[in-house]
Amino acid sequence: MSTLTGQRPSGPAPHRPSALTRYGRPTGLTWTVLRLHRTALYVWGAALLTVVAALVWMHAIGPDARAATGGCDAADPFPMDCGIIQETEAHKIYANGLALVSACVTYLMYAVAVWAGAALTGRELESGTARLAWTQSVTPARWLATRLAVPAVLLTAGTTLAVLLGDWARRAGNQELFGGWFDTNVFISSGPVAVAYALAGLALGALAGLALRRALPAAAAALAAAYVLHEVLDRFRMSLWPAETATGLSALRLPNGTLVLEHGAVTGDGERLSTSMACVGTDSAAALERCVKGSGLTDFWTTYQPESHFWPLQLVESGLLLAVTGLAAAAAFALLRRRHA
């Protein structure tokens, strides 16, 4: 009778599954983001599985690739003697495979920025999907937070996995086969800076989409912003941590794995010659003394970044990228709040 009269039945209300776990799967805004951008999710998952499979393979053939260098080791003090003795099929697959994976991880930022600008925010604003969500008890701030948080978690997890597996695969081979630690692709794909680049691309793309509210212009603007950020940091990377300077014989015989920033000599008049390569390769103090007397020079100096500076440089660059990410995200929220206050 209570049903016919419109009254609610007495007793406790029936239990309803949580919005995040209903029917064993995520719902609400999280599920909406995953469902709306499922194509990008599938592409990301397929790309990640491909990278994982490739790196596992690189690790498996690493010992065979190492044998192609005749036992050469990165700690060898004479890097010129560290050449490839016999090129094998394993060497070519290992070197080219790691180079390709490193490039994919390094330039992931561009793809993320374009997608975030074009699809994550730009297309939803252009098509009216975002405004429809705002009329269904979803605030603009919550809408944007979900669209940033969900891909950020997926990007962080996937990129971290690729970086860890990449380091695992490199340790199985030899440094001479995939470049120095300071090479752009190796540096970015070997540490937390790879994750920071991906997150920066996400924030820049989202900001571009909110600012322009059209997919194609937002994608172009996000790509341009990601390119500028990437190139600026790449150019000034080795200035983010103080370099070291060696003089005398030490300046002429730096350990393998060192990045030389500047090398020069000092004349008898005290003038510093920054382009002089005199006496480079001298292998003893006596030979250096003879070379100095014959060249009229009094000393040598080299400014360099040792391999031990890899982690300080990684952390400083990551910090800068995360600061850019935070500023871009804050600007996106401020822009959204101003337009829908």
* Torsions phi, psi for 136 (to 5 deg): -115, 50
* Torsions phi, psi for 299 (to 5 deg): -165, 170
> Which residues on adjacent β-strands are paired with residue 291?
none
- C-alpha 332: how far from chain center: 22
d(CA 304, CA 241): 11
What is the 8-class DSSP label of residue 181?
Answer: T
Q: Angle at Cα 54 formed by Cα 309 and Cα 111, nearest 5°?
A: 70
Centre a 10 Å sphere on the Cβ of residue 180 and count the other Cβ atoms it contains: 16
Q: Angle at Cα 317 formed by Cα 313 and Cα 320, nearest 5°?
A: 145
Q: What is the pTM of this model?
A: 0.82
d(CA 238, CA 309): 9
Centre a 10 Å sphere on the Cβ of residue 197 and count the other Cβ atoms it contains: 31
Answer for the pair 77, 253: CB distance below 8 angstroms, yes or no: yes
Q: What is the pLDDT of residue 18?
A: 42
Q: 52: which 2 tokens?
A: 């994982």
Nearest to 29 by CA among 121, 149, 117, 115: 149
Nearest to 225 by CA among 341, 109, 88: 109
Nearest to 324 by CA among 219, 237, 233, 242: 233
Cβ-proximal residues to 163 (8 Å cutoff; 6+ apart), any chain: 105, 189, 190, 191, 192, 194, 195
- Per-residue pLDDT reduced to its tens digit, 254-276: 888 889 898 877 776 666 666 65
pLDDT in tens, the chain (341 residues): 444 444 444 544 444 444 444 444 555 777 777 887 889 889 999 999 999 999 999 888 878 777 765 545 444 444 444 544 456 777 788 888 899 999 999 999 999 999 999 988 888 888 887 787 777 777 888 889 988 999 999 999 999 999 999 999 888 766 666 678 999 999 999 999 999 999 999 999 999 999 999 999 999 999 999 999 999 999 999 999 999 988 877 777 788 888 989 887 777 666 666 665 666 656 566 666 667 666 666 777 888 999 999 999 999 999 999 999 999 999 999 999 888 76
